[in-house]
Amino acid sequence: MPKPVWKQLLTAEQYDVLWRGATERPFTGALHANKQVGTYLTAGCRLPVFHSRDKYDSGTGWPSFSDVLNRDNVVLKPDWAWGLRRTEVLSKCGEHLGHVFEDGPPPTGLRYCLNSAALVFVPEDPLEPAPAAP
């Protein structure tokens, strides 16, 4: 889908994060403290990428996961922005989700540090409401 269409469909923050690679401020995202059981989809393409069973509090202020739900929906890309070597996490349709670091908990040792604005949460219990945006 062309970016002008995404700009109409998404909030300004979602568009900036997903398509411009922006990072939301820590501790401000609606999903940072979410403890509900369910699946995290990308905010644009709606691809299932993470599950609550792999979510943990990393203390960074962003939703953090130790593993991905569906590797086919996630692309890892070297990122040298800011003069640092990092690994960017993208969806297979090109959405910027965040970064992955090698300082996570066992058994993977990985910390997928993501933007709440890049994700949509779908609770497993259909009667439980999803977290509201701040």
Amino acid (1-letter code) at residue 81: A
For residues 1 and 129, which has the higher predicted lDDT (pLDDT)? 1
CATH number at residue 66: 2.170.150.20
Q: Is the per-residue pLDDT at 133 higher than 70?
A: no
Number of separate domains in the chain: 1
Q: Which residue has the higher pLDDT, 83 or 57?
A: 57
Write the Ramachandran bin of 27: left for phi over 0, alpha for psi from -120 to 50, otherwise beta: left
Tokens 């040298």 label which residue?
Answer: 80
State the sign of the Cα–Cα–Cα–Cα dihedral 61, 67, 70, 74. Answer: positive
Query: Looking at the annotation, which residues are catalytic?
Result: 113
The domain containing residue 24 runs over which residues?
Answer: 3-123
The amino acid sitting at 38 is G
pTM: 0.90
129 in any annotated domain: no
